Structure 1
């Protein structure tokens, strides 16, 4: 095992990798409950199966693709149906008043996966690693750190939204905020979820200060016990959940596609949206996790491994659709395991095995509250902020794109938005600076292509 995963070469061992893999699983296990809830909320009648069918598809797709990532790429990154993309899948497509069915949506995801596969085989996606400046890569890492920290803060109830009862704003409408207005506030300290995340945050922080191996994992487990003590975990929900201890694999509807249907509904925009968001989300996740794991220290070897990882990711998109779930992608929560010391594919294999074992523990999934993993995500955000010291903020050609990349990810709650603004502003500023003789930054030709695609996407399709 040491030779296969090159454990000593990467400065790790079996115990560390297994604990890191379990930590990653614990940090992203929420997807096992969330994804079925999101996708089945918009399904009815003949458009698809039930909660258990989507749960099975989610667990199998995540387990199999993550194990493949570990065995073939030796990369400590886990894959699962992505949050955000599954919401788009459900709300935009399935909520289209019957225009798009669940089968059509799966077909769109499958086609976007084929597009990714072609982009990866032709090495266009890998070329992005060379084309994007190192400063922007570090900015992506920092931005993702803030993004997942915000994810933890939101999921725990530590951050709440202030609703004005007299302010009648239409759904999905955009309104400007005055300087004295705010839409967020601190959650109630009397809320068991808030108490749980604060307890977990303090516990993990103390363990990390004491240099305890497995601090994040122990923090999640300790937070779960605390949640049980404060009554946050409802054991009665097990009987009402409808989940089964023994999975019925006959519920899986393999390759449930509708190609004739999408040809007559003009679903090109949907496919392009899936492709665009997944392209930048995956790039950001791969680069961010690779930097955090130290894989990019050797740029040649690191670029090669990230390229292979992108190939597995592309296969995962179509593979997930074949099983009956929305876009399967690399998870930013993988950084929880990396922060725990995971450096090789053994971390990913461990996470994948946990997902497959969860097929037989579906009822228990409901006992792990989101607040128990939220503290871990916040701490991971702290760790990923360390990359900010690699950015030269005295150079405005670098500083402004890096800043926009960092702040727009959490503020717009989109990794793709942050990367998009970073790319466009860098191309403009680097070009102006070089033309005026004030800067020596070179713009790779692919950056021009990406900038044009970004502008076209936002002008023609719109923001997320």
Structure 2
């Protein structure tokens, strides 16, 4: 064990590494319940994806790829289907009205993984990280956080969207252009799902404030227990224990339900697929880089910059392969989880931490009936809290300098309000290139615009001009 993971060299022990791996698993195990709910449109199957199939894919992808990270890179980082991109995956399918299937979505994720492999091998991936200003990187994280929060609010019923006719608006030259408006409302407090979501928000928030390890997971489980004592209007319990071991889920995993290699390469030629692939690629690019570098710094690997960068480069390759591997078994983009920092804080320094976490995910394959009990309101509460945690990156954005502040705001605002991650990233990049160039030419500051930013800006403008959704 010591020879494989270099435990003594890294100043750690088997016990410390195993405990760190268990800690990482506890902090990110919520994805086992949340990801199937999101990708199957909260258990309704509206996206065409089967809840059980996604659960199995989540556990297998997270388990196998995390173990590979530990064995081949000796890095204490765990991977699983990422929050934000799973929501984007589902909304693209639902918003298409049936023209964009989940098979096409999985194909887009698979292709983005291949792109990652090429970008990693050619070192372009690292170059892109340098090209985009830090404020935009942090803004992407914040925007995705708000995007996730709105999805949680909407699916729990705590936020409702109503279309109201403007009958009371005085007739005028603008009235004909505004036949309706979209209005956000708070959900009914008499709705059992809304109440359960609020309870979940309170429980998870309290556990986080008390600094309980695995606060989100334990909050979800406690909310599920509360749901056992709450009833729907028809008298049925919100959480029905009678469904344990039903046909939907069994204790022994039925791997025949996996959406294995369900790709549609012919279908992805439809308009809009380029935008989807670029979004998956672009967001994952910054998400993974930030997580890997941040974890490496926390673990002390970056003290030796050459060795640290070499290890991060290897980790990026495993991550890239994991993206396509996840799509192969039937789930959205797999990425490095920032929750890995919890294991590092517990003393995890080697790949044994990751291997332990990966084994836990594989063992979770036998817990599908329990995960299936978790109501949508509980996972919706978790989504909102994850949005809060991602919002913390806003403090890293320099709003005093509006050359950075305006593009950052556009990035943050356009994601949730247009219900599209790509829109936020696109407006952020184009506005930064424009403002930084104008400011530099007018002598208002020496702002750097990397040539790759110009390439991205041009591609984005062309996309909105000539490619329809």
Quickly name the TM-score band, shorter chain normalised.
0.7 to 0.9
The answer on whether the counterparts of 1:78 and 1:348 sit within 8 Å (CA) in structure 2 is: no
Match for residue 370 of structure 1? 376
CA distance in 2, matches of 1:78, 1:458: 32
Is 1:311 aligned to 2:317, yes or no? yes
Give per-residue Cα distances to partners, 1:141-193, cap 9 Å, x unaligned. Answer: 322332333333233322122244999xxxxxxxx996995432111222232
Match for residue 80 of structure 2? 78
Match for residue 219 of structure 1? 219
Is 1:356 aligned to 2:358, yes or no? no
Match for residue 115 of structure 1? 115
Give per-residue Cα distances to partners, 1:258-298, cap 9 Å, x unaligned. Answer: 76xx2xx6827565234212112212432554587584996
Is 1:95 aligned to 2:98, yes or no? yes
The answer on whether the counterparts of 1:197 and 1:372 sit within 8 Å (CA) in structure 2 is: yes
- Of 274, 277, 287, the residue aligned with 1:275 is 277
The answer on whether the counterparts of 1:162 and 1:185 sit within 8 Å (CA) in structure 2 is: yes
- Of 236, 243, 248, the residue aligned with 1:242 is 248
Is 1:424 aligned to 2:426, yes or no? no
CA distance in 2, matches of 1:194, 1:248: 33
CA distance in 1, matches of 2:180, 2:272: 38
CA distance in 2, matches of 1:7, 1:229: 49
The answer on whether the counterparts of 2:30 and 2:216 sit within 8 Å (CA) in structure 1 is: no
Match for residue 443 of structure 1? 449
Superposition deviation, residue 249 in structure 1: 3.3
Superposition deviation, residue 451 in structure 1: 1.3
Unmatched 5+ stretches in structure 1: 44-48, 168-175
Match for residue 19 of structure 1? 23
Superposition deviation, residue 64 in structure 1: 1.9
CA distance in 2, matches of 1:223, 1:285: 29
The answer on whether the counterparts of 1:144 and 1:288 sit within 8 Å (CA) in structure 2 is: no
In the TM superposition, what are the counterparts of 1:27-426 in structure 2 within 5 Å? Answer: 27-35=31-39, 55-69=55-69, 71=71, 72=73, 73-79=75-81, 82-86=86-90, 88=92, 92=96, 95-96=98-99, 109-164=109-164, 181-231=181-231, 232-238=238-244, 241-250=247-256, 252=258, 255=261, 262=266, 267=269, 269=271, 271-287=273-289, 289=291, 295=297, 307-323=313-329, 325=330, 327-330=332-335, 334-335=337-338, 349=355, 352-426=358-432
Superposition deviation, residue 208 in structure 1: 3.7
The answer on whether the counterparts of 1:89 and 1:326 sit within 8 Å (CA) in structure 2 is: no
Give per-residue Cα distances to partners, 1:23-64, cap 9 Å, x unaligned. Answer: 312145222355357897576xxxxx9765565444423432
Cα RMSD for the two superposed structures: 4.2
The answer on whether the counterparts of 1:108 and 1:267 sit within 8 Å (CA) in structure 2 is: no
Superposition deviation, residue 117 in structure 1: 1.9
The answer on whether the counterparts of 1:114 and 1:318 sit within 8 Å (CA) in structure 2 is: yes
Runs (4+) of structure 1 moved beyond 6 Å? 37-40, 100-105, 176-180, 339-347
Superposition deviation, residue 119 in structure 1: 2.2
Superposition deviation, residue 123 in structure 1: 2.0
The answer on whether the counterparts of 2:36 and 2:52 sit within 8 Å (CA) in structure 1 is: no
The answer on whether the counterparts of 2:22 and 2:360 sit within 8 Å (CA) in structure 1 is: no
The answer on whether the counterparts of 2:66 and 2:358 sit within 8 Å (CA) in structure 1 is: yes
The answer on whether the counterparts of 2:26 and 2:214 sit within 8 Å (CA) in structure 1 is: no
Q: Which region of structure 1 is more displaced relative to structure 2, 427-436 or 14-23?
A: 14-23
CA distance in 2, matches of 1:258, 1:450: 27
Is 1:3 aligned to 2:7, yes or no? yes
Superposition deviation, residue 391 in structure 1: 2.2
CA distance in 2, matches of 1:383, 1:289: 14
Match for residue 457 of structure 1? 463
Aligned length, in residue pairs: 438
The answer on whether the counterparts of 2:81 and 2:332 sit within 8 Å (CA) in structure 1 is: no
The answer on whether the counterparts of 1:26 and 1:220 sit within 8 Å (CA) in structure 2 is: yes
Superposition deviation, residue 338 in structure 1: 5.1
TM-score (norm 1): 0.77
CA distance in 2, matches of 1:215, 1:108: 33
TM-score (norm 2): 0.76
Give per-residue Cα distances to partners, 1:228-282, cap 9 Å, x unaligned. Answer: 22242122344655322222335557546676xx2xx682756523421211221
The answer on whether the counterparts of 2:159 and 2:185 sit within 8 Å (CA) in structure 1 is: yes
